[in-house]
Chains A and B, each alone.
Chain A
Amino acid sequence: MTAVSNLEKAINSGQFVATGELGPPKGADLTEFKENAEGMRNHVVACNITDNQTAIVRTSSIACGATLIQMGIEPIIQITVRDRNRICIQSDVLGAYALGIRNILCIAGDHQKFGNETGSKGVYDIDSIQLLKGLKDMRDEKKFMGGDEVEGDIDYFLGAVENPFADPFEYRVTRLEKKVRAGAKFIQTQCIFDLDRFERFMELVRERGLHKKIAILGGVTPIKSLGAAKYMKNNVSGITIPDALIDRMKGAEDKKAEGLTIAVETIQRLKEIEGVAGVHIMAIAWEEKVPEIVERAGIYPPPKL
């Protein structure tokens, strides 16, 4: 099987991979989005574009992905099952492929309750595992979810997310295995702050040999301030921040510098964990720091392909 994207090639090469997150704007002016992409171009293998993250209306991930392709930067587009039914998702995936997009991340998406259109109808026609399986079958079996035939070739690299900090803890690994069977080849995890718990998660992953079947990219987010850390701890579903980390931020004179150092140290520790294939850096509203984090963590330059 030949790799369809640089991300796939990099993962297959076995070298430690870094990807970066880009959030589209709440408007159609992509200037800043492009600047952010430009800023991390040489430091990451691919940029992952969110799909109306936290259910807030933004420019579509596919449109932003196509923009990156014009710039010569490789996108990973997120697709949630929150806003589209299976007709629309399959149609969008064909469109994304036609535009040159090759990496697709299948996710459920945050509930619409958290966004800026709280009265909207959550679609949830299919779930994220059904989405993975459906896209896998479109590619491998040339069949749409309804059984009709897909015309011509279509090929992409499929990923999913997993949250090692959600519950029930042990079942997360079972569900990861289910995602592997559904067709995921890479996994982005939720932001890792509780490394001890993440290590326990990876132990269970290794026990089942899952790290050999799927590339696990650990999610890393630099904390910008003490307030941001506390906010995430208390308000963001699925994120765990240990008290020790909050205390460390509290004690730091330069909070921003400390936040960056914590991110760098996290990556360095992740590199040592068997079965972690790379990191996904989510420097939300702090994208310009991605190069610094990558360099300081000692994962620059990206794998030569």
Chain B
Amino acid sequence: MIIAERKPLEEIAAMVAPYKRVLVLGCNSCVAVCMAGGQKEAEETAALLRIHRKKENIDGVVDVFSIERQCEFEMIDEVLDELKKYDAILSLACGVGVQVLIERDPSLRVFPGLNTTSMGYPAEQGEWVERCVGCGNCVLHKTMGICPITRCAKSILNGPCGGSADGKCELGKDVDCAWHLIIERLTEYGRLSDLDEIEPPKDWSTSHHGGARTTVREDVKIDRG
């Protein structure tokens, strides 16, 4: 899932300050699970924004509702007429949702209410951790299901570096060394010698370093010609 957290209220308030009719638009998928942008958080944010705007003597309304996913045209279309009634939409979706709203209708004024942080999972109540950077060329089969690109602070492919101590990363005692985990697991399965091969430099062109990526499946595309 995509993990995000709400921007500070002051930053959000400043973005939408010039607008009279503001809609706080929640997204009920990933960001609802990480308690950043679902219906509940949208209501909270709208309430805080109203109080803030009142203090600042800004007139107008702050409404709120949410949709299932802001990253799909079909779901946006169901409420598009409603969205058009607002001067500003504070989207509580991830960065994708914000952009898809604008791509659906460029006349919408959409502002990001969240900082999108990563792809990961809820590790425990109130804690979400990153597990994938979307590099476009998965190596998990070689590393016993532990991602060195995401979890090693230096994205080392022939690890671990000299900073690994007691299973922890040189970044600090609260961060596991990904390579320590990989070696432990490979040892357990008698596969440590898998690492003897020098892993060659990674082709980063499949990652974001190649620019924004488009994934195509010709077989399921609809021919509109």
Q: Looking at the assembled complex, report how far the CB atom of B144 sits from the nearest CB atom of chain A, in whole angstroms.
A: 14
Sort A-B residue pairs by CB-CB distance and give the 5 closest, nearest first: A163-B162, A237-B170, A129-B158, A127-B156, A237-B163
Contact sample, A vs B, 8 pairs, CB 8 Å cutoff: A127-B159, A129-B199, A163-B163, A167-B160, A167-B167, A167-B180, A168-B184, A238-B165
A residues near B58, Cβ cutoff 8 Å: none
Is B196 a contact of A238 with CB atoms below 8 Å?
no
One digit per residue, 1 when the CB lies within 8 angstroms of any chain B CB and 0 when it does not, for chain A 129-152 equals: 110011000000000010000000
A residues near B165, Cβ cutoff 8 Å: 165-167, 237-238
A182's partner among B157, B159, B198 (CB-CB below 8 A) is B198
Is A238 a contact of B170 with CB atoms below 8 Å?
yes
Q: Looking at the assembled complex, report how far the CB atom of A303 sits from the nearest CB atom of chain B, in whole angstroms.
A: 28
Binds B, one of A10-18, A107-115, A278-286: A107-115
Q: Is A161 an interface residue (CB 8 A)?
A: yes
One digit per residue, 1 when the CB lies within 8 angstroms of any chain A CB and 0 when it does not, for chain B 196-222 equals: 101111101000000000000000000
Question: Using a CB–CB distance below 8 Å, which chain A residues touch chain B?
Answer: 81-82, 86, 108, 110-111, 113, 122, 124-130, 133-134, 145, 161-163, 165-168, 171, 174-175, 178, 181-182, 190, 237-238
A130's partner among B153, B192, B200 (CB-CB below 8 A) is B200
**Size band of the interface chain B makes with A:** 20 to 34
Is A110 a contact of B170 with CB atoms below 8 Å?
yes
Q: Looking at the assembled complex, report how far the CB atom of A77 sits from the nearest CB atom of chain B, in whole angstroms.
A: 19
Question: Using a CB–CB distance below 8 Å, which chain B residues touch chain A?
Answer: 153-167, 170-171, 177, 180, 183-184, 192, 195-196, 198-202, 204
A166's partner among B154, B160, B202, B204 (CB-CB below 8 A) is B160
A128's partner among B161, B177, B204 (CB-CB below 8 A) is B161
Q: Looking at the assembled complex, report how far the CB atom of B172 sits from the nearest CB atom of chain A, in whole angstroms.
A: 8
Is A171 a contact of B201 with CB atoms below 8 Å?
no
B201's partner among A125, A181, A237 (CB-CB below 8 A) is A125
B residues near A161, Cβ cutoff 8 Å: 162
A133 and B198 in contact (CB under 8 A), knowing A110-B170, A122-B154? yes
Tell me the bound Cα distance from A168 to B156 in angstroms: 16
Tell me the bound Cα distance from A168 to B154 in angstroms: 17
Tell me the bound Cα distance from A128 to B196 in angstroms: 15
Is B154 a contact of A108 with CB atoms below 8 Å?
yes
Tell me the bound Cα distance from A166 to B180 in angstroms: 11
Is B180 a contact of A168 with CB atoms below 8 Å?
yes
A130 and B180 in contact (CB under 8 A), knowing A124-B155, A167-B164? no
User: For residue A80, which residue of chain B has the nearest CB?
Assistant: B154
Is A162 a contact of B162 with CB atoms below 8 Å?
yes
User: For residue B158, which residue of chain A has the nearest CB?
Assistant: A129
Q: Looking at the assembled complex, report how far the CB atom of B153 sits from the nearest CB atom of chain A, in whole angstroms.
A: 5
Is A168 a contact of B183 with CB atoms below 8 Å?
yes
Q: Looking at the assembled complex, report how far the CB atom of B175 sits from the nearest CB atom of chain A, in whole angstroms.
A: 10
B residues near A129, Cβ cutoff 8 Å: 158, 198-199
A residues near B204, Cβ cutoff 8 Å: 125
Is B161 a contact of A130 with CB atoms below 8 Å?
no
Tell me the bound Cα distance from A215 to B198 in angstroms: 21
A126 and B163 in contact (CB under 8 A), knowing A237-B170, A238-B170? no
B residues near A166, Cβ cutoff 8 Å: 160-165
Tell me the bound Cα distance from A127 to B139 in angstroms: 15
A111's partner among B154, B199, B202 (CB-CB below 8 A) is B154
Q: Looking at the assembled complex, report how far the CB atom of B185 sits from the nearest CB atom of chain A, in whole angstroms.
A: 12
Tell me the bound Cα distance from A163 to B163 in angstroms: 8
Is A145 a contact of B201 with CB atoms below 8 Å?
yes
Tell me the bound Cα distance from A190 to B184 in angstroms: 23
Tell me the bound Cα distance from A186 to B201 in angstroms: 22
Is B201 a contact of A126 with CB atoms below 8 Å?
yes
A190 and B180 in contact (CB under 8 A), knowing A127-B154, A145-B201, A178-B196? no
Tell me the bound Cα distance from A167 to B182 in angstroms: 12
B residues near A81, Cβ cutoff 8 Å: 154
Tell me the bound Cα distance from A46 to B167 in angstroms: 35
A130 and B198 in contact (CB under 8 A), knowing A167-B180, A168-B180, A171-B183? yes
